[in-house]
Structure 1
Amino acid sequence: FNLKQVLKLNKEKAEALEIYPKLLGTLATKIPRSQIHKLYSDYLEELVEEKTRKLKKAQEDLLRSQRLAAIGEAAAIIGHDIRNPLQAITYALYLAKKELESSPNKNLKEIMDAMEKQVRYINKIISDLQYYAKPLKPSIRRTNLVKVIDEIISMMKIPRRIKVEIDIEDFFTDFPTDPVLIRRVLMNLIMNAIQAMENGGLLRIRAHKEGDYALISIRDTGVGIPEEYHEKIFQPLFTTKSKGQGLGLTVCKRIVEALHGEISFKSKVGKGTTFTIKLPIKIVDQQVKAVFNSSR
């Protein structure tokens, strides 16, 4: 006879203290009273631990939501007050580089490139904050994913020590998705892959169709992600980098889910990491057709 199982079965029907006297009276003739006391004591201990875990999680969720609400408010201010001067700096750098095209001073060019890189990084932080704070309403339309990826690769100026392989099926030249949102996800994942390969390596971007789903994977042969971080990797404000705000992957997950998809990863320290985006084709294709029909 398993008293613990009986207690668990009755857990949702009544409070433990109400069940106990009834069980004690019913089972007293079948098993020793001391055994009933011990089993019941163990059950209560387990019940308290479970309630404590739930309370702790609720407190953590509340703190996280308060912190993210503050981030949302800050993002609105940052987006307006910092983006405008950044655009002016970007344009000034562009003009300065044009003037230096015929200059033999290589050091000055390198300084300009470094400044441009830092401006891009600040822009990325602002974008991540804004993408996390604002509500996402995907605008699905036919997108040439090959072109999107080519543009990202060209813009990022990938170091020569990193080899890039791209394998994309023809289906993705007319792929139903939100081009702005998917660009943001791919840009974050590709940038992470590059940063993980400081000593060089292989960046492999693959997109293929599998049944009713489109699979897009970004693979690197970099440092990898320690196993103890795997459960936290998509949590807001969590980062394994010395330089980073911990929102990039959170933004990626939020965008992919807004596109009715899933994002997952596999990683091994010293071997590299592969992020995979899984998007349903039928759902988004129906949305494209609905938009097309409504505009006729």
Structure 2
Amino acid sequence: MNLLDAIALTGFFLGILLHLFLFSAFLKRRRKSVFELALLFLIGALLVWFSGNFLSVLMRDMDQARVGRVLHPVNVITFVTLALLPPFLLHTHWIYYRKRHSPAPWERKLIYLLLGVLYLSLAGLPIVVRRILAAPPTDPLEGISPFDLAYLLLLSLAYYGAAFIGYRIVTYPRSQVERAVFRGLALIFAGIPLYNMLVVAIAKPDGWLMLTAWLASLLPSSLICYYIYRYQFLDIDTTRPLASALMILLTLSVYILAVRLIGGYLEGELGTSSSSSLLLEATLLVGILLLFPTLSRGLESLVARLFSGEIRKYREIGEVIHRSAPIIANPDLYKEFVESHLKHELGTSRIRINLDPVESSVPNDQAYPLVAADRPLGYLEISQPQTDSRSEREAMHFLANEIAVGLDRCYSLAAQVRMERELAQKSHMEELGRMAASVAHNVKNPLSSMRTLLQLFQESDNLTSDQREEVRMMIREIDRLSSTVTNLLKFSRLESLQRGRSAEFPNVTVSALTDSLQGVFAGDLQARRIRLDVDGTDLTVRTDPEILTDILSNLLLNAIEASPADGTIRVTFQRDGAQAEITVEDEGSGIPEQVRGKLFEPFVSTKSRGSGLGLAIVKKRVEQLSGTVSYMSPIRGRGTRFTVRFPVPG
């Protein structure tokens, strides 16, 4: 074995380890996209190519009569795989570009034309296979030498097509890592065809230049492997496999270069016996095995420093952030946790996460976009001295990606929790509806009978003034209980009622509606000496009068019960284009802090004797109009203002 063969074996074995590392990294994914499947085919083809060349060089010095039967199929598989590489290479780049970017129509036509040419060229494979089988097993290039120029042209088309796609991605990158990867790939793919032509023109088939041309495919694979290991490019996380692969390569290289070459030199030049050479080989092999653990730890540490660098601490931080996302269903809480953790780990207080997805660009060069599944979530803003270096900024981009993935999980988990709560509430409301129907049947009719009897009893002339007042009080309590039962029944029915905007709704005159409600609440207003100011009564809207009456009556009743004596309730109607707005404002004590977050939930009330269904009914009714309801409390130190907005046809 000469030095050229030893270098060839080492290079081909490096190719095997490198592509085996990439192949296993993609293969372990459970759900693979179309791009990942295409990349697996490409990496698998390169793995077969390097394995075939390794076996060919390894068996070159063996007895040809014995290894010929093995070398022929190895050569066929190797060179058939070589023929598949150009279309696989271009197709994989095209799938990536088409998935993450928006190709122009002329780009689609150009790439599809190139792919058509490359795939049609595979029709000549049967001829190539026959010529390989007819050639000597140790020199398959002799049989396919007439096709060298044609293959180089096809390979150049694939390389330049991939370089063009890389240039387009660099022009409109989705991240800094993507820009760096495809800038490097574009330069490599643009340079390799020129080098291949030069090698074919001036080199012998077994020369050093030919070997470097065959090993040129290590360059793009090494570049991708570097960015996968250091920046988790393509969302692949790796830790120790690369160091282990390099250790195996180092061991093989030492064995081939030190043992085989030195042993051959001693046997050829100094005339040592074969047994002495075997003893030397055994001695060196034992030495390598003894030093293997120490060398492995040292190489692992070196790889960590060279490839991980400053991103190592960010990877550890990212793992903590990544593990915390599935247990925090609130994005705001997750944001606070991440900010606190980053401040502690990075030793700076100048960290802020903005969760405004409307932000289309980051505000300055110390902010990093948070994007998950092509959906902007906001940005991470951090200021610290070490972020001036390129590697540190790339590490921060990696960390921002981890935060974005965690936020996306939080949003998904929050949506799931919200859906479960809505389903639970719906089930609860259905049960409430059945209970309400039973209450209405068993309670409402007896209440009506009791009220009728008390009214007749009140008209009796034998009652004293105190007794008559007690009868009035009992009638009021029966009315209050009957109103609670009515609201309970109404709310349970609203849960299953689907009603919205319709072109058949009549025009509702606000003045007629408010006059009707003033008549309904006249007794309550007079009893409390409350003044009702209504503005905008000349407005006419096209909507459902029943729903609008329900909304206003509940808001007015709520305002009357909250207002002090001699107070004022202000009701305002206005319209802005296709939106109508109603505000009801009282001068009460305002809404307590402890119920503000759940004010529109059923059975939540600020009054000791309230049913807690009035505002819940308002919210349901407003939703039926496809509108919104909000409140502000306090206003100018006291009171509450409810605002209802809903769309109205023109």
TM-score grouping bracket, smaller chain normalisation: 0.7 to 0.9
Instruction: Say which SS state the counterpart of residue 568 (structure 2) adopts.
Output: strand
Task: Write the mapping of 1:180-191 to structure 2, written as runs, cut at 5 A.
Answer: 180-191=546-557
Structure 2 counterpart of 1:115? 474
Distance 1:218 1:77 in 2: 34
What pairs with 1:35-46 in structure 2 (closer than 5 Å)?
35-46=314-325
1:158-208: CA deviation from partner (whole Å, max 9, x where unpaired): 224322222233124xx4333332222222111111111244421112222
Name the residue aligned to 1:92. 453
Q: Return closer, same or farther for 1:231/1:184 CA change in 2, 3 Å cut-off.
A: same
Q: Letter of the aligned partner of 1:168 in structure 2?
A: G
Q: Does 1:152 align with 2:517?
A: yes
Higher mean C-alpha displacement, 103-112 vs 140-149: 103-112
Is the contact made by 1:226 and 1:268 (CA closer than 8 Å) also made in structure 2? no
Is the alpha carbon distance of 1:147 and 1:59 closer, same or farther for their aligned partners in structure 2, counting shifts above 3 Å? same
Choose between structure 1 and 2 for higher RCO, CA contacts under 8 A separated by at least 6 residues: 1
2:633 is paired with a residue of what secondary structure?
strand
1:220 Cα offset (Å): 0.3
Residue of 53, 58, 68 corresponding to 2:429: 68
Q: Contact between 1:20 and 1:40, CA under 8 Å: does it hold in 2? A: no
Task: State the match for 1:237 in structure 2.
Answer: 603
> TM-score if structure 1 supplies the norm length?
0.74
Q: Secondary structure at 1:279's aligned position in 2?
A: strand
- Paired AA for residue 77 in structure 1: S
1:8-23 counterparts in 2 under 5 A?
A: 19=235, 21-22=237-238
Separation in 1 of the partners of 2:462 and 2:538? 44
Distance 1:281 1:106 in 2: 53
**Aligned partner letter, 2:426:** S
| CA shift in 2, pair 1:215/1:22, >3 Å | same
Aligned amino acid, residue 119 of structure 1 = I
In the alignment, is the contact (CA less than 8 A) between 1:196 and 1:220 conserved in 2? yes
Check whether the contact 1:218–1:275 (CA below 8 A) recurs between aligned residues: yes
| SS of equivalent to 2:599 | coil
149-158 or 250-259: bigger deviation: 149-158
Matches within 5 A, 1:100-111: 105-111=464-470
Q: Which residue of 2 aligns with 1:289?
A: none
| Unmatched runs of 5 consecutive residues or more in structure 1 | 7-15, 286-296
Conserved? CA contact 2:487–2:614, under 8 Å: yes
Superposition deviation, residue 252 in structure 1: 0.7
Alpha-carbon shift at residue 112 of structure 1 (Å)? 3.6
Residue 532 of structure 2 corresponds to which residue in structure 1? Answer: 164
**Deviation (angstroms), 1:60:** 4.2
Deviations 1:235-293 (CA, angstroms, capped at 9, x unpaired): 223222222232221111111111222211111185101112222221xx6xxxxxxxx
- The code of the aligned residue for 1:132 comes to F
Letter in 1 for 2:519: S
- 1:209 shift after superposition: 2.3
1:83 aligns with 2:444: yes
Q: Structure 1 residues 116, 278: closer, same or farther in 2, change over 3 A? A: farther
1:125 aligns with 2:484: yes
Report the counterpart of residue 225 of structure 1 in structure 2: 591
Q: CA deviation at 1:125?
A: 1.6
- Cross-structure match for 2:640: 273
- Quick check: 1:205 aligned with 2:568? no
Rounded to whole Å, the distance in 1 between the matches of 2:452 and 2:618 is 29
Task: Note the C-alpha offset of 1:234.
Answer: 1.0
Describe the shift of the 1:35–1:183 C-alpha distance in structure 2 as closer, same or farther (beyond 3 A).
closer
**Given that residues 583 and 643 in structure 2 are in contact (C-alpha distance below 8 angstroms), is that contact kept between their aligned partners in structure 1?**
yes
1:10 corresponding residue in structure 2: none
SS at match of 1:116: helix
Give the aligned partner of residue 31 of structure 1: 310
> What do residues 115-145 of structure 1 show as CA deviations (whole Å, max 9, x unaligned)?
3322332232222222222233468333343
Paired letter, 1:197:
S
Contact 2:570 2:585 in 1 (8 A): yes
Structure number with the higher strand fraction is 1
Note the aligned Cα RMSD (angstroms): 3.4
Q: Which structure's residues are more often helix, by fraction?
A: 2
Which amino acid is 2:310 matched to?
I
Gaps of 5+ in 2: 1-175, 178-231, 243-302, 330-408
Paired residue secondary structure (2:237): helix
Could you say if the C-alpha distance between residues 148 and 115 of structure 1 is closer, same or farther in structure 2, counting changes exceeding 3 Å? farther
Give the C-alpha shift of residue 41 in structure 1.
1.7
Aligned in 2, Cα 1:84/1:144: closer, same or farther, shift over 3 Å?
farther
Equivalent residue letter for 2:642: F
Residues of 2 paired with 1:124 and 1:262: CA distance? 25
Query: Which moves more between the two structures, 38-47 or 245-254?
Result: 38-47
Identity %: 26
Find the aligned partners of 2:559 and 2:443 in 1 and give their Cα distance.
Answer: 27
Show the counterpart of 1:250.
616
1:57 to partner: Cα distance:
4.8
Q: Distance in 1 between matches of 2:514 and 2:465?
A: 30
Q: Do 1:143 and 1:177's aligned partners in 2 also have CA atoms closer than 8 Å?
A: yes
Task: Confirm or deny: 8 A CA contact 2:433 2:489 kept in the other structure.
Answer: yes
> 2:565 & 2:605 partners in 1: Cα distance?
21
Structure 2: distance between partners of 1:69 and 1:23: 53
- Return the alpha-carbon distance in structure 1 between the equivalents of residues 509 and 438 of structure 2: 34
Q: Following the alignment from structure 2 to structure 1, what is the Cα–Cα distance between the partners of residues 470 and 542?
A: 41
CA distance in 2: counterparts of 1:79 and 1:238, whole angstroms: 21
Q: What code does the residue aligned with 1:245 have?
A: S
Task: Tell me which amino acid in the other structure corresponds to 2:489.
Answer: Q
Rate the CA distance shift 1:171–1:125 in 2: closer, same or farther, 3 A.
same
**Retained in 1: the 8 A contact 2:571–2:583?**
yes
2:100 counterpart residue number? none
